[in-house]
Amino acid sequence: MAGNNKIIIPLVSLILVVGVVCGAVLVLNMGGNDNASSGKDNNGISNGSMKHVTTFCQYAEYKDECARSISHVAHNRSATTKDFIFAAIEATLEAVHKSHQVAVNTEVDQGADPYNHMAIEDCKELLQDAIADLQASISVVGDSELHTLNDRVDELLNWMSAVYAYQTTCTEQIENPEYKSAIEDGMINATQLTNNAINIIAEMSKVLEAFNITKTTTDLLHKGENSNTASRRLLEIDDEHYFPEWFPVADRKLLAAQRRGNLRPNVVVSKNGGGQFKTITGALKSYPKKHKGKYVIYVKAGVYNEIVEVSKKMKNVFMYGDGAGKTIITGNKNYALMKVTTSKTATFAALGQGFVARGITFRNTAGPQGHQAVAYRSQSDMSALFDCSIEGYQDTLYYHTYRQFYRNCVISGTIDFIFGKGTALIQNSVIIARKPLANQFNTITADGKELAKAKGGVVLQNCKIVPESALYPLRFKVKTYFGRPWKAYSTTVVMESQIGDLLSPLGWKIWDGEKFENTCLYYEYRNSGPGANTSRRNRAFKKFDVLGPIRARKFTAGLWLDANRWLPATGVPFAIGYTK
């Protein structure tokens, strides 16, 4: 994985919903007289109004930009926090429009420079998707059936963190300095405003307290984690029967039927006939417009050599095969030999929300010489894989954006082979380090969290970390690390896992040429095995720590993924708390 060849393609929905409750519980007193005696700033905003602007923007990194984005609202004496959030997001939307126009105006000759042409085209896609998603988010503000404010803040951070990645990584794949600078310059305002939104949302409880929100509202901020319901559900996982007791009945029946072999799918794919389609791509094209509920695709045993994408319009696709190693989806796209952008190397890309896969192998056969060569890429929020194998070398699993869960999977690779900017939890899985090229090392993870208050990171829980047979005799010669920090606030946790003797005692590797080891968050908790000894961990990592049970709980599924809210509906078994 090259640091400048990562692409993020996020979605946004629910960005503004926090404004509804804020507006309901707080009407800012924008008062003050309109005459000179009341005092106004250079923009004609009264001193009283300016105080509220300052309060709202106090956690923003770019305070002047924040103030300018909401200054027109400050003239309104009855403005609410909802109005302020509307103004801030609308200003971001306008800035993204301008960024997109810069990308549109950047023309690259495809014949003379095919790689940078592809990179710019990808950038246009990313920014256009951001525009559409920001527009869609405005439409949900009036939704009357909303969760608690605390739930919405977490959701907002999930989506806004992806929006930031949308913009900043748009340019990471561009290699031509002239094109790169043009796009970056055109995106400055948009990235700053998105950065501000993340920081304000992350501190929303403090913002509300600054405006003297009532105790009832403050209680809502902390309800989720400590509720009796949440605590009870920590103990009700029924792994023997695969499904937690509180699963929706329809989903429990669906997955139970699939396990018994008598599930009736919407479509069947069979390479050798016997189904409606011979290709997975063909089956996905049958996805009905305005489909509601799960769309079930059964892929029979066989090797499917095709590049597959589950588009954003294809929500709640459940795809299952005859088992990993039997149903195989394979490709060999790569960066080094083919000059393909990292995201476009993916053999399988899941974009539609709520994608679930079971019993399938996702494979990229480019080999270590292909460098970036993704087997499975997901920018599907609330997605889950179970009983799957994800096979490659460099950049095997790309947890692109949003919340993702992996259970009972086998994931193999060499350099940065589990990487991304989303929020991922890999549970009860086998992580296999493979033999890299000569003079290379293995890094299992490379998280790309860029802002301190954004959401993002990867957790390996109750996993086994082992070498493949080709690496085994060389496991002490070829260095293998838990990971290295792709971005400044890279967050990675290895907990309750069995670590083989292949792991370097240093545990973690710095990213050469950067100083991310000063700010990244690398944690371990209750690991076992010969590689679990932490006494010789790399001291260059200033914030490395061995956690206790209270701090480690933050990284279990219930809190890390807000799992109670969505994971049961995927039909995938999971432990919501500790596994041991």
User: For this structure, is 41 an active site residue?
Assistant: no
User: For this structure, is 395 an active site residue?
Assistant: yes
Closest CA to 500 of 457, 538, 540, 471: 471
Cα separation, 294 vs 283, whole angstroms: 14
The encoded tokens of residue 162 equal 């992806």
* CA–CA–CA angle 138, 144, 149 (5° rounding): 80
DSSP-assigned letter for residue 342: G
The encoded tokens of residue 457 equal 């990171």
Please report, to the nearest 10 degrees, the dihedral formed by the alpha carbons of residues 440, 443, 448, 451 taken in order. -110
Closest CA to 558 of 137, 334, 314, 231: 231
The encoded tokens of residue 145 equal 């059936």
Cα–Cα distances in Å, from 385 out to 47, 319, 425? 54, 10, 11
Q: Which residues contact 193 (CB under 8 A, 6 or more apart)?
A: 62, 65, 66, 69, 88, 91, 92, 95
Please report, to the nearest 10 degrees, the dihedral formed by the alpha carbons of residues 495, 466, 457, 550 taken in order. 0
Closest CA to 349 of 9, 1, 114: 9
Catalytic residue among 129, 251, 416, 447: 416
412: phi then psi, degrees, rounded to nearest 5: -130, 150
Q: Look up tokens 């029979």; give the residue.
A: 300
Please report, to the nearest 10 degrees, the dihedral formed by the alpha carbons of residues 461, 464, 467, 469 taken in order. -140
Strand order in the sheet with 430-433: 302-305, 327-331, 361-364, 389-391, 410-413, 430-433, 464-467, 498-499
- The secondary structure element, H or E, covering residue 448 is none
Q: Look up tokens 């971005």; give the residue.
A: 487
Strand order in the sheet with 397-399: 308-310, 348-350, 376-378, 397-399, 415-420, 442-447, 480-483
Catalytic residue among 387, 395, 447, 562: 395
Cα separation, 76 vs 49, whole angstroms: 9
Angle between helical axes of 149-168 and 177-202 (0-180°, round to 10): 170
The encoded tokens of residue 286 equal 């049958």
The encoded tokens of residue 268 equal 């069947």
- Catalytic residues, by residue number, are 395, 416
